[in-house]
Chains A and B, each alone.
Chain A
């Protein structure tokens, strides 16, 4: 059974940093692209970033480029999102998600975690 468990969310001041983690199990983690998606309170889903299988390539939404860094540790089956220079508009539930295609390239999410809440406020 595929399981994705996010952690690391919490309250942080504007300009601060936070690192989210996503512990994965139930599949060959290194073979799949992994994605972070966020949802601000009362808003729709927003794609944030993706890392290809084995970490060869990373891509970011313009809204987080230069501030967020996605990475993975395939030996620990864990996905990360390092978030720096946080702003109030980064307040959201952050979801970790697994791609369905074993090519390692993003072709569509099939499994989602339950999410972790990040609140940026003074």
Chain B
């Protein structure tokens, strides 16, 4: 059973930079997993930030960027703003056709 790992929580100061990661319980994440990142605030549908590792979805500011860092996918937020306080989820596409979400990271901006 493949588990996708994310930090449960993270905090960043306003104006600061934070990098959230998305890993595998066994093995390394590569671009072949087409990592994607989604932002969700309570009571709202998810919003796509990044797909295929580093492609920003339409309308997403360039403060959000995706990459592979070492053995994990990463989402970096620069110049953090108060309304970036949300839950962030990654998802990885497995070769078997299924996809698996990480457990999500609750980001606090304070």
Chain A residues within 8 Å of B, Cβ to Cβ: 35, 37, 44-47, 50, 57, 59-61, 95, 100-101, 106-115
A111 — which chain B residues lie within 8 A by C-beta? 48
Q: How many residues of B contact A (CB 8 A)?
A: 26
B89/A106 in contact, CB under 8 A:
no
B97/A95 in contact, CB under 8 A:
no
Interface residue from B46, B51, B100 paired with A112 (Cβ < 8 Å): B46
Q: For the complex, would chain A's binding face be called helix, strand, loop or mixed by DSSP majority?
A: strand
A25, B100: Cα distance in complex, Å: 27
A45 — which chain B residues lie within 8 A by C-beta? 38, 40, 46, 89, 91, 101, 104
Supplied contacts A59-B98, A108-B93, 6 more A-B pairs, CB within 8 Å: A45-B91, A47-B100, A61-B98, A100-B51, A108-B52, A115-B45
**B105 nearest in chain A by CB position:** A44
A47/B48 in contact, CB under 8 A:
no
Closest 9 interchain pairs by CB? A108-B51, A59-B97, A108-B36, A44-B104, A47-B99, A45-B101, A112-B45, A107-B34, A59-B98
Proximity string of chain B (7-39) to chain A, C-beta cutoff 8 Å, 1 when within and 0 when not:
000000000000000000000000000101010
